[in-house]
Structure 1
Amino acid sequence: MEFNVVNHQLCVDNININGVASASLFLIGDVQTVQLASAFDTPPESLIIQPLSLVPKV
């Protein structure tokens, strides 16, 4: 995926952060490259795989 943003003029006066998740990115300013990655850390024995059940329309 390629996501291009052009900020011609950026002025930040105040920032309020009420909470931060375990996977979060907070960035103000310019950056050439941002690379994000994630890992699935749940043990294999807790993973439940079953056939897909479709929910009928009401």
Structure 2
Amino acid sequence: MELNVINRELHVENIEIIGIASSSLFIIGDAESIQQASTFDTPAESLIIGPFVPFVPRG
């Protein structure tokens, strides 16, 4: 995948994050490159695969 971005003026006044995922990335500003890496150090037999916890936004 190739993503070309033309940077213009940016002004961020307020950010509110109410939830994240296990593979989230949040950047404000410039990044020359972004690399993804993943490790799994828990033994496979301890992994429990089940329904996700429902995300309920705060209101």
Fold match (TM-score > 0.5) = yes
In the alignment, structure 2 segments of 5+ residues that lack a partner are 45-59
In structure 1, distance between residues paired with 2:19 and 2:10: 24
Larger RCO: 1 or 2 (CA < 8 Å, sep 6+): 2
* TM-score, normalising length: structure 1: 0.59
**Alpha-carbon shift at residue 39 of structure 1 (Å):** 6.4
Residue 22 (structure 2) pairs with residue 9 (structure 1): no
Larger radius of gyration: 1
**Alpha-carbon shift at residue 37 of structure 1 (Å):** 3.8
* TM-score, normalising length: structure 2: 0.58
In the alignment, structure 1 segments of 5+ residues that lack a partner are 44-58
Identity value in percent: 55
Question: Which portions of structure 1, spanning 4 or more consecutive aligned residues, are displaced by more than 4 angstroms?
Answer: 38-41
Number of corresponding residues: 45
